[in-house]
Amino acid sequence: MSVPRLQAGDRVRLLSPASTPDEDLVARGVALLRQWGLQVEIGQHAFDRAGYLAGNDPDRLADLNDALRDPNIRAIFATRGGKGAYRIAAKLDFEAARRDPKPLVGFSDITYLHLALHCAGAPVGFHGPAASWSDDYYDTECAEALHRALTVDEPIVVRSNPTDYTATLTAGNPATGVLVGGNLDSLAHSVGWALPDLNGAILLIEGNSGTGLGQVDRCLAQLTNSGQLDNIAGVAVGTFGEFETATAGGQTLAGVLADWFAKLAVPVLGGLPIGHGRNPVTVPLGTTTTIDPRSATMTVTPGVH
């Protein structure tokens, strides 16, 4: 199955399946998408608020399912992550998503939706920036990378940043598999209900700067001890935000990750500019992907596995 591509004139919809976005930042995102010639709509409940959620579960779910069912909507953009996508991920209209695949763009808590859709045989998730467009995190190159990923049918090559603190994890020979993953905390909490089969997969992990080393450790323990990582082909490590690289005891994020990766004995490519960092690259999930630790590159092919 090929990844659906956007073109000028297509209608797209911005939704808030998790937490409530900043309206001014969403307006910036709308302006950007309109510059690309897209017709932009905003979901009915996108700015609702119920504590840390963008409104109640039925309304957030209805917004998302309406977009999945509407044949005129050609892509869905999450306004932000936060919390709450896990509350509705199991109730998506998976039949509609399989019948009319369309890109769902987002990351962080949106990982739950990507995973659930992949499990249901509708893996057209794009791990990329939220539609709340902030100049503090996203620049013109980031915008262009998002645009290319959504509109151009060609491989995406992501180069490791050698100065990133996880680049030191890079080791092993090239490995190829289906790209699955996203936010590490979301992955761990999806075990048993939303985590796809990872046999032969390239596992993508990333996190945010609010995640402590102990939480990273617990997440990897959950994934490893569940047996889900027994037969993965390799690991692609994205950014973990402005993570402090050491604790008072001298432990580092790279050290915690390396300890668990050693148990897996698979190729690892670290330092990838994907996830909770400035100017993240957009990559389509569910696609055949090769990590090459020798050249420090990850190549994502257009077709969905």
DSSP single-letter state for residue 281: P
What is the DSSP track for 10-60? -EEEEE-SSSPPPHHHHHHHHHHHHHTT-EEEE-TTTT--BTTBSS-HHHH
- Single-letter code of the amino acid located at 57: D
Q: Which of 19, 108, 132, 160 is catalytic?
A: 108
Q: How far apart are CA 288 and CA 63, in angstroms?
A: 30
Contacting residues for 140 by C-beta, under 8 A, at least 6 apart: none
Give the Cβ contact number of residue 37 at 10 Å.
12
Strand, helix or coil for residue 137:
coil
Per-residue tokens: 264 = 């897996």
Contacting residues for 175 by C-beta, under 8 A, at least 6 apart: 202, 233, 234, 266, 267, 290, 291
Residues linked to residue 276 through DSSP beta bridges, in sequence order: 240
Instruction: Please confirm, yes or no, whether 108 is among the known catalytic residues.
Output: yes
Give helix 253-264 / helix 213-225 axis angle, nearest 10°: 10
Q: Which of 118, 127, 186, 206 is catalytic?
A: 206
Do residues 178 and 286 touch, judged by C-beta distance below 8 A?
Answer: yes
Q: Would you call 123 exposed, middle or buried from its count of C-beta atoms within 10 A (0-12, 13-18, 19+)?
A: buried
Any idea which residues carry the catalytic annotation?
108, 206, 276
